[in-house]
Chains A and B, each alone.
Chain A
Amino acid sequence: MMRWLCRLASTRLTLFGMVFLAIGAGLSYDNPADISVWVLAGPLLLLALNLFAAILTQPGINRRPGLLMFHIGLLSICAMAAIGRLTFYEARVEVSQNSAFDVAAVDEISQGVFHQGELSQVRFVQQGYTVEYRPGLVRGITRSYLQVSDGRGGWLSQVVGDDTPLIIDGYRFYTTFNKGFAAILTWTPGQGEAITGILHMPSYPLFDYKQANSWTPPGSSEEIKFWLRLDTGMDREADWLLDVRNTDALLVVNNGEQRLELQPGQTANLPGGQLRYEALSSWMGYKIFYDPTLKWLFIAAMLTVLGLCLHYWDKFKHQSMTMIKDKQK
């Protein structure tokens, strides 16, 4: 057993592992879809085993506290990264203004096989948002205003955006460039209950030129096309603040037979029912990220560097300076 461990702790194996890891890193550039995760996981596993065996068998490592801390730290980073990949969760979601986050609306989900978080427990309500733009439509600071459940029946105000995510139960919600306007519509069919919903338009100002969407009323086969004619005050040559409160929007409705223009609060009679344009609203797109190892990964990385510093301190302290000063040799 010891003989095998000693072989596994070989310093040559470390070098091979490092070379393979470098190749794996090069192949992983830009996360190509056709490259297996094993180009990284394989060398990392090899290096982790090599490191583990070295810690157990090499007195040069396990009898030097700093070096031992450094190597255990490296091993911990590998372990944390692996656990992180098994338990992570990533997704995207659009949340409408004055609406609560709805786990059913989450899209583009990617998660580790052992992910056990409870995203459905997350409670927050999206309010408005503002985005500063500089000349040339260069995006500046994003502020998204939220009401977050305090867990005791109350709500707390919170502003998130750019590098300040909303963090609830380990889930991190990041604002994205993907945000836009929406129309709140009420459909009253000829018979039955009225329904109110929010129709999201494409991302703004990215798709400024096509703020359009369509909807088919329940029980009908006729698709209704909508177009928001926005007046946001956008000025490409000057500073500008994107804010739904400063925006007017006319809703153009087209059901194939007629074209109508509605102001907020106006109603249109369409085949099969009445459509009321209640108000202009907005939506914010969030990236959701969850990785329970983040804090531990950071601690492990810092301990690794601390171990390295301790080792160098000890090494430099004990080294004779005479070798540095032997200029006359």
Chain B
Amino acid sequence: MNSVFAELPWMWAGLFAYAIATLLAFRNVWQVGASDVAVLPNRQAEGNILLALVCGVLLIALALAVRWDRLGHGPFVNLFELLMSQLFSLGLIYSIVYWRVPDLRASAVVVMPLIWVLGTWILFMDPVDSRFPPTYHNNWLWAHVGFGKIFLSFSLVAAGLAGVILLRAIPCFTRYFAHMSDAALDQLAWRFMMLTLVFDSLMLIAGAVWAQDAWGRYWSWDALETSSFMTWLSIGAGIHVRLTYNIPTRLGALVILAIFFLAFTTYFGAPYYSEAAHKGVI
């Protein structure tokens, strides 16, 4: 086997495990909806979904470790590495949340396809090697990236719950999520949005300290900074609107999805929009 691609089989295996988790999530919801009487979700089936998710996380972690060992640096530089590390962190944090908060498990039917957007994307990408820029030898990079991953993961969970709220609004899907209430989903989703605001703020602070060390300025309105500031502002505005005006649940769900879309674009769109998204890369 070509050593250059040593990490790929592990990553494909991880994606396969995520695919199984996705199919099981759909099957679980379908079984709830197919029943003539109101039934609660099957905890055994949920356990299988969690098992598949954890397997996927472990396999992608292995893929990351192999690549890290091969290149001598972490997955911080190019888009392939960014996608790979996000597949790991989104899967890891969603697994923990899925395990600890049973009330949101129905969101897997929204969350897993969203994770699979990244999974499909990475399958079409060339796993080119990257060079670690000198300005990345900084401990604040770890804090910045770590907080960023938690931020996007919580935003994904909120988007998953918002997706379930909107699915419940479509008559043909209502019975699949009949065991939940909009109010409970809405409250849970906005709690995750509040956590999103905390970790987004921490990500921006850590990034600013790193930028000051690395490039001699803490803020410079480059593509990523502009987009991430708008994301932070939209989360703040969304929470402000939700708490102040008590907007309808479905409108709130749309707001959450819009914020997630903006966050997603910041992560995966800005590097396309500007090659010098973070100037240390060049």
Interface residues of A (CB under 8 A from B): 11, 14-15, 18-19, 21-22, 25-26, 28-31, 134, 138-142, 161-165, 172, 174, 287, 289, 294, 297-298, 301-302, 304-305, 308-309, 312, 316, 319, 323-329
Contact = CB atoms under 8 A, between A and B. Distances in A.
Contacts of B171: none
Given A21-B233, A30-B223, 8 more contacts: A25-B221, A29-B221, A31-B220, A139-B134, A163-B213, A289-B216, A308-B194, A327-B179
A287 B240 contact: no
A316 B233 CA distance: 23
A141 B183 contact: no
A305 B232 CA distance: 13
Contact of B233 (A25, A174, A297, A329): A25
Classify the interface of chain A: helix, strand, loop or mixed: mixed
Q: Which 9 A-B pairs have the closest CB atoms?
A: A162-B134, A174-B216, A163-B213, A29-B226, A329-B181, A163-B214, A163-B138, A18-B237, A11-B244
Nearest to A329: B181
Contacts of A302: 205
A289 B40 CA distance: 61
Given A22-B233, A28-B221, A324-B188, A11 B240 contact: yes
Contact of A305 (B103, B198, B244): B198
Contacts of B195: 312
Given A174-B216, A324-B184, A309 B198 contact: yes
B226 A28 contact: yes
A327 B181 contact: yes
Interface in B139-189: 179-181, 183-184, 187-188
Contact of A30 (B38, B179, B212, B222): B222
A142 B241 CA distance: 48
Contacts of B216: 165, 172, 174, 287, 289
16 contacts: A11-B244, A11-B245, A15-B241, A25-B230, A30-B221, A138-B131, A141-B134, A162-B134, A162-B135, A163-B137, A163-B213, A165-B216, A172-B216, A301-B208, A305-B198, A324-B187
A230 to B, nearest CB: 23
B230 A22 contact: yes
B187 to A, nearest CB: 6
B16 interface: no
B218 to A, nearest CB: 7
A163 B237 CA distance: 34
B19 interface: no
Interface residues of B, number: 48
Nearest to A301: B205
A161 B241 CA distance: 46
Nearest to A73: B201
B74 to A, nearest CB: 16
A327 B180 contact: yes
Nearest to A14: B240
B223 A22 contact: no
A312 B218 CA distance: 28
A217 to B, nearest CB: 37
B212 A294 contact: yes
B217 interface: yes
Interface string B252-270: 0000000000000000000
Nearest to B180: A327
A25 B229 contact: yes
B193 to A, nearest CB: 11
A304 B201 contact: yes
Contact of A308 (B181, B197, B209): B197
Contacts of A312: 194-195, 198
B209 A298 contact: yes
A246 B246 CA distance: 70
B271 interface: no
Contacts of A134: 131
Contacts of B191: 316
B39 to A, nearest CB: 11
A305 B226 contact: no
Contact of B181 (A15, A142, A172, A326): A326
B277 to A, nearest CB: 12
Nearest to A30: B221
Contacts of A142: 134
A26 B135 contact: no
B183, B188, B201 pick with most chain A CB within 10 angstroms = B201
A327 B184 contact: yes
Contacts of A139: 134
A301 B229 CA distance: 14
B181 to A, nearest CB: 5
B223 to A, nearest CB: 7
Contacts of A305: 198, 201-202, 205
A162 B137 contact: yes
A325 B102 CA distance: 10
